[in-house]
Amino acid sequence: MDQMNLSLAIPEIALALFACAFLIADSVTKGRILPILHNIVVLFCIGLGVYCLAQVPTTGTELAFTNMYIADSMALALKGFSALAIAFTLIVGANYAKDHDMFKGELHALVLFTLLGQMVMISANNLLLVYLGVELLSLSLYAAVAMQRDNVRATEASMKYFVLGALASGFLLYGMSMIYGATGSLNHSDIAFAATAAVSGEKSIIFIFGIVFLVAGLAFKLGVVPFHMWVPDVYEGSPSIATLLISGAPKLAAFAMLMRLLVDGLFVMAFDWQNMLMVLAIASLAIGNLTAIAQTSLKRMLAYSTIAQMGFMLLGFLSGVTGQDTGNAAQAYSSAMFYSITYVLTTLGTFGVIMVMSRKGFEVEKISDLKGLNKRAPWLALIMLLLMFSLAGIPPMVGFAAKLLVLKALLATGQVWLAVYAVMFSLVGAFYYIRIVKTMYFEAPSDETEIVMGNDARAVLGVNGLAVIVLGLLPAPLMAYCMTAIQQTLAG
């Protein structure tokens, strides 16, 4: 077992080497060949994503780096989707970055390092490696938010993000140290072993405390109530491309972190952390949805919508175990995984539209900036319409399939009232999503400037919109894919 198994970590190794090579190439040429490098980066990310996805399902769970690193189907699937999400961000965001003076080598380097951080998080089988991944991701994001040096709001957002993110990291680290104290190990499988012993004997206080801090740290990273305060401010202040970097792919890594820490490591303590997650989910659904209604800023509204959506995802995650019965675990976690993946898909499209609509000296900020989009660019408006109905969970969009899976997981464990609560807040959510549709379709444009978008951006946005509807009509393959991945992870 104690082998290096370097070949398992090929995606990470390749990405790290590529990022370094990119940095050298860009600095040697002083940014002259950046447009070409940009294309190479995009192609590399797509290639990496396809490479990871093509390997699923793998034969089984394998470990590397003396058990610090885990490779299984779930890891590969999430890495693959993350890489594709990053490629999407770069394609759609290229024009935006140029207009906003962000199209520099640094941006690409930071983007590549966020991806590396996510991949490390996804494959970590060791508390320290989790932390390493989190920090690599977060530090790159802080810098990406602050890239426009003379933009006061972005700098403020970056500061806020940094301070609160550091606090969250502190929580996480503190929790990890307690878990280490209680179990004597940083390795997830050893922790799981020690936890089983702890449950059969007297539960140690320090163990429970450790879980509390871990969950708090995770909640910060996910941005769920009551650890959500940073989300709206950072979303609003950041340039849209940085917002997308924060709100898109990292949600997949956050889901992986939940799986690795809570399920791989602390599955026997499910009763304890499920109750904590339930409080977070219930509060997120209520506060996220109700506060989103009052927003006039588009990005703030989307931030609160994210909070609510993450709360909904947690509902799936917390219905894995009832009493001693773990029969629903695979269904529950795969519903959360499906939810996360499809959420990222819709978020990419939403911010993609926002970026395409922005131009030099003009940033889409208020909901009213979308006025009359159907007149100005019917194609964009239609995509946004599909995305909004998907977020609201209206069939046949994919958001409905995702919500259906979560509700099914909830009802399978007999939590009928939680399901009713969740659908009632979906109704509240529907209000602000269809308000966006109203703004685009029912109101006359106040700004007639032509919307310019590249053919590549047009194509990927089209693919995104199509994916939202096709995955909604035929969700079975992706569901089966998530199910296989989760079953393998649970078995390993």
Partner 1 sequence: MSNNIPFLSLAIWLPIAFGVLIMALGNDKNAGMVRGAALLAALISFVVTLPLYFGFDTSTAQLQFVENLPWIEAFGASYGLGVDGLSVWFVILTALITIFVVVAAWEVITEKVAQYMAAFLILSGLMVGVFSATDGLLFYVFFEATLIPMYIIVGVWGGPNRIYAAFKFFLYTLLGSLLTLVALIYLQSQSGTFEIAAWHKLPLGMTEQILIFLAFLMAFAVKVPMWPVHTWLPDAHVEAPTGGSVVLAAIMLKLGAYGFLRFSMPIAPDASHELAGFMITLSLIAVIYIGVVALVQKDMKKLVAYSSIAHMGFVTLGFFMFQDLAVQGAIIQMISHGFVSGAMFLCIGVLYDRVHSREISAYGGVVNTMPKFAAFFLLFAMANAGLPATSGFVGEFMVILGAVKYNFWIGLLAATTLIFGAAYSLWMYKRVVFGEVANDNVKELTDVNTREFLMLGALAVLVMAMGLYPKPFTDVLQVSVDALLQHVAQSKL
Binding site for partner 1 (CB under 8 A): 374, 378, 382, 385, 389, 394-396, 400, 404, 407-408, 411-412, 416, 419-420, 423-424, 426-427, 430-431, 434-435, 437-438, 441-442, 474-476, 479-480, 483
What string of H, E and C letters represents the secondary structure of the chain? Answer: CCCCCHHHHHHHHHHHHHHHHHHHHHHHCCCCCHHHHHHHHHHHHHHHHHHHHHCCCCCCCEEECCCCEEECHHHHHHHHHHHHHHHHHHHHHHHHHHHCCCCCHHHHHHHHHHHHHHHHHHHECEHHHHHHHHHHHHHHHHHHHCCCCCCHHHHHHHHHHHHHHHHHHHHHHHHHHHHHHHHCCCEHHHHHHHHHHHHHCCCCHHHHHHHHHHHHHHHHHHCCCCCCCHHHHHHHHCCHHHHHHHHCCHHHHHHHHHHHHHHHHCHHHHHHHHHHHHHHHHHHHHHHHHHHHCCCEHHHHHHHHHHHHHHHHHHHHCCCCECCECCCHHHHHHHHHHHHHHHHHHHHHHHHHHHHHCECCECCCEHHHHCCHHHHCHHHHHHHHHHHHHHHCCCCCHHHHHHHHHHHHHHHCCCHHHHHHHHHHHHHHHHHHHHHHHHHHCCCCCCCCCCCCCHHHHHHHHHHHHHHHHHHHCCHHHHHHHHHHHHHHHHC
Q: Which two tokens stand for residue 90?
A: 């770069």
* Closest separation in Å from C-beta 410 to partner 1: 9
Q: Which is nearer to partner 1, 361 or 477 (CB)?
A: 477
Based on CB atoms, which residue is closest to partner 1, 164 or 412?
A: 412
Residue 382: both structure tokens together: 């239609």
Nearer to partner 1, 13 or 411 (CB): 411
**Nearer Cβ to partner 1 (73/169):** 73
Give least dist CB 393 to partner 1, A: 9
Q: How far from the centroid of its chain's Cα atoms is residue 22's Cα?
A: 25
CB–CB of 37/26 below 8 Å? Answer: yes
CB of 389 to partner 1, least distance (A): 6
User: Shortest Cβ distance from residue 423 to partner 1 (Å)?
Assistant: 4
The minimum distance between CB 356 and partner 1, in angstroms, equals 19
Q: CB of 305: closest distance to partner 1 in angstroms? A: 17
Least distance to partner 1, CB of residue 435, Å: 8
Q: Which residue's CB is nearer to partner 1, number 284 or number 331?
A: 331
Closer CB to partner 1, residue 343 or residue 425?
A: 425
The smaller minimum CB distance to partner 1, of residues 28 and 480, is found at: 480
Quick one: 137 or 418, whose CB is closer to partner 1?
418
Which C-beta is closer to partner 1: that of 294 or that of 474?
Answer: 474
Minimum separation from the CB atom of position 73 to partner 1 (A):
17
- Report the nearest approach of partner 1 to the CB of residue 384 (Å): 13
Minimum distance from CB of 472 to partner 1 (Å)?
Answer: 8
Answer yes or no: are the C-beta atoms of 301 and 393 closer than 8 Å: no
Between 52 and 407, CB nearer to partner 1: 407
Token code pair at residue 329: 């675990």
Our CB check for partner 1 shows the closer of 163 and 427 to be 427
Instruction: Single out the residue of 237, 235, 250, 228 nearest to residue 114, CA to CA.
Output: 250
Instruction: Compute the least distance from the CB of residue 420 to partner 1, in Å.
Output: 6
